[in-house]
Amino acid sequence: MTFHPTIVALRPQHELRWLGHFLFPGIFDGEHSFLLAPIDGGVRFIHSEQFSGILVGPLRNTLAASEVGFNAMNVALKKRAENQDAPDVRRI
């Protein structure tokens, strides 16, 4: 499926969230988010997606495959972040 999402939240160094619709709202919608939360001198990365709409039930197997891809991205991001010096986020 191809989505043309709309950014619904953008708070630099804190949150990026977007909402995509298949065809039009209510058919198959996905709200994807990346949240950054400070913890004990580090950062917790929270990555989530919530789906809604009438096609969510019939596409449940496709959604499970998407979760595998999201988890792989999270593992790769963690590995990369832990194997480099952190950038000065004030310059990003």
Dihedral sign of CA atoms 16, 22, 23, 28 in order: negative
Give per-residue pLDDT as tens, 45-61: 999 999 999 998 888 88
Q: Strand, coil or helix: what is 2?
A: coil
Give per-residue pLDDT as tens, 71-84: 898 899 888 888 87
Q: CA dist 27 to 17, 42, 54, 56, Å?
A: 20, 39, 5, 8
C-alpha 21/C-alpha 4 separation (Å) is 7
Amino acid identity, position 42: G
C-alpha 66/C-alpha 84 separation (Å) is 28
